[in-house]
A and B are shown apart, each in its own frame.
Chain A
Amino acid sequence: MTRHLISSADLSRVEVEDILETAASMHDLQRREVKKVPTLRGRTIINFFFEDSTRTRSSFEIAGKWMSADTINLSAKGSSTSKGESLRDTAMTVDAMAVDALVIRHNASGACHQVAQWVRCSVINAGDGTHEHPTQALLDAYTLRTRLGDLDGKHVVIVGDLTHSRVFRSNVITLKTLGARVTVVAPPTLMPSGIAAWSAADGFATSWHLDPVLDGDGEHGPVDAVMMLRVQRERMSGGYFPTAREYTVGYGLTRDRLDRLVARNDDVLVLHPGPMNRGLEIAPEAADAPQSVVLDQVSAGVAVRMAVLYHLLAGDDTPAPPLAAATTDGAAR
C-alpha cells in the first residue's frame, strides 16, 4: 500500500479489494452499540478543507473518531490561509505538528499531489479541483459490490458533466481496476478534451447520447448501474448547455428513462454522489426509487473512509524519507 492516496490509480486491484473487504467489517461496526475500536489510538488526522463539503468532511471526521484517532477540522476560512499564507507553508506548518495524516479537499487540481511532496505525513485526497476523488470512487465501488457482487464484466454508465467531475475520473479508474465495463455519457460540450485517447487506452466507451446507452442498443449491452453526476452550477458559467430544461431532456434521469431501465432490468442501480439537483440531472422519482442506492452510498462513506485510514495508518510506521513522493512500502517487509 502506498503511504498516500492521491489518485485512484495508486491502488492495485488487490489493494482495492482489501480496502473494500475491510470496509465491510467497518460497516458492521456502524450497526453496533459501541462503534469505537482502538485501532488508530494515538494517531492524529487533520481534515483540511479549502472547499465546502458536508458528507466528505463529516464522514472523514467520524471515520477517524470511530477508529480512536484524534481528528481536527480546519477550513480555509478561519485558518492562516485567509491571511495569505501559501499552501506550502500551511502544509508544512501542520506537518511540523507531527500529525499522521492530512486529508485535503482543495479547489486546485493536483494540490494533494503537490502537498505530498512537501510533508512527511500521509496525504489523502478528499477531492482536488476537477482531478480526482478516490474515496468517493471506493465507496461507489463498495455500494455496487454490495448489491451486484463481483463487478467483473458488470456495465456501469456514468452520465453528466464529465469535464468538471473528479468523481467521474476516479470512478472510471476504480471500476476498470475491478474489471467492470464502463460507458460515459455527456453532451459534446461537457466531454473532456483528450477523452478519446484516454478511453482507448483504458478501455471504456463514450457516447454523446444517453437513450441508446440506457436502452442497451447495439454494442452497448444491458446496463447494471447508472451513476448520475451533479450539474455543478458553480462551474456552469461557460455556456455548456442552452438551458437547464434542455439538459434534463437530453441527459437527465427522468421518470420515463427510469421506467424504461427498470422494464429491462428490475435490479438496475441508480447512484448519485450528491448533493442532488432534483429535477435537473435526476428526477425525484428516480432519486427515491427502490433502485436508488444514494443513501447506501452515504452510509458506505464512513466505512470506506475508515478502511482507507486503516490501510494507510495502521501498519508499520517507519517514517517515509523526507521529500519522498508516493512510495510503495510494506511489500518488502
Chain B
Amino acid sequence: MSEGDISRALRRIGHEILERNKGSDGLVLLGIPSRGVPLARRLAACIEDVEGTQIPVGELDITLHRDDLRRHPVRTAHRSRIPAAGIDDQVVVLVDDVLYSGRTIRAALDALSELGRPRAVRLAVLVDRGHRELPIRADHVGKNLPTSRDERVHVRVAELDGIDVVRISGGEGR
C-alpha cells in the first residue's frame, strides 16, 4: 500500500466509524503502540474534518497483559495515555496497524476492562492479514491482505518511520 492508499483507507474507515456510531458522540479512539498510535491520531483528524468536532485520542499500552511474555526477552512497558474524561460509557475504537493472531487485541480488551466499562468496543485496523488464533474480528479494515504465515507484513508510518508504506516480505529481515 502506498501513502495514497493508506490515507484513502483511513478516510474511509473514519467515515465508517461515524456511520456506525451515527455521529461522533461518545467516541474515543485508543491507539495500540507503537504504530496504532499515529494511525489513531490520523483517524481522529479525518473524523474532525468531516464532523468538525474533536475526538478524544489516547494510547493503550498492553505489554503487561500479553500472554507471550514468557516466550520473549522482557519488553519495556510504556505508559497508557487515556483521555481525561475516561472511557466509561463511551464507544471505544481500538486502532492498530496489523490484525494477525488476535492476541494483541485480547490483551487490549483485558487492559481496557481494568480502566473502565465502555458502552461498546470496536476495532479498526489498517491491515487484516488473517491467521486468527482467537475469536476476534475487526469492525473496520483498511485492506485485507491474504498472506502466508512465513511472510511478514511491514507497516511504516511517517510519524515514526519517516515514510507511509505497507509491504509484504518473504520472511527474512525485520
B78 and A37 contact, CB distance less than 8 A: no
Q: How far is the CA of A18 from the CA of B115 in the complex (A)?
A: 24
Q: Of B64, B69, B71, B114, which one neighbours A34 at CB under 8 angstroms?
A: B114
Q: Of A25, A38, A314, which one neighbours B70 at CB under 8 angstroms?
A: A314
Q: Is A311 an interface residue (CB 8 A)?
A: yes
Q: Is A39 an interface residue (CB 8 A)?
A: yes
| B residues in contact with A97, CB < 8 Å | none
Interface majority SS on A: helix, strand, loop or mixed? loop
A315 and B114 contact, CB distance less than 8 A: no
Cβ of B60 to closest chain A Cβ, rounded Å: 11
Q: How far is the CA of A333 from the CA of B69 in the complex (A)?
A: 13
A315 and B115 contact, CB distance less than 8 A: no
A317 and B70 contact, CB distance less than 8 A: yes
Looking across the interface, which residue of chain B has its beta carbon closest to that of A1? B74
B69 and A314 contact, CB distance less than 8 A: yes
Q: How far is the CA of A24 from the CA of B61 in the complex (A)?
A: 12
Binary contact track B94-108/A, C-beta < 8 Å → 1, others 0: 000000000000000
User: Total A-B pairs in contact (CB under 8 Å)?
Assistant: 59
Binary contact track A293-333/B, C-beta < 8 Å → 1, others 0: 00000000000000100110011110000000000001101
Q: Of B69, B74, B79, which one neighbours A25 at CB under 8 angstroms?
A: B79
Known A32-B114, A34-B114; contact A25-B73, beta-carbon cutoff 8 A: no
A330 and B73 contact, CB distance less than 8 A: yes
Q: Is A283 an interface residue (CB 8 A)?
A: no
A37 and B64 contact, CB distance less than 8 A: yes
| B residues in contact with A25, CB < 8 Å | 61, 63-64, 77-80
Q: Is A52 an interface residue (CB 8 A)?
A: no
Known A37-B64, A37-B114, A38-B110; contact A333-B77, beta-carbon cutoff 8 A: no
Q: How far is the CA of A315 from the CA of B74 in the complex (A)?
A: 4
Q: A36-B114, A310-B74 are in contact. List 12 more A-B contacts (CB 8 A).
A: A22-B76, A22-B78, A34-B115, A37-B114, A38-B110, A39-B64, A314-B74, A315-B72, A317-B70, A330-B73, A331-B73, A333-B73
29 residue pairs from A and B, CB less than 8 Å apart? A1-B73, A21-B76, A21-B77, A22-B76, A24-B79, A25-B61, A25-B64, A25-B77, A25-B78, A32-B115, A34-B114, A36-B114, A37-B64, A38-B110, A39-B65, A39-B69, A67-B64, A310-B74, A310-B77, A314-B69, A314-B70, A315-B69, A315-B72, A315-B73, A316-B71, A316-B72, A316-B73, A330-B74, A333-B72
The 9 closest A-B pairs by CB, nearest first: A315-B74, A330-B73, A37-B64, A22-B77, A18-B76, A34-B114, A39-B64, A25-B79, A25-B77
The residues of A with any CB-CB pair to B shorter than 8 Å are 1, 18, 21-22, 24-26, 28, 32, 34, 36-39, 67, 307, 310-311, 314-317, 330-331, 333
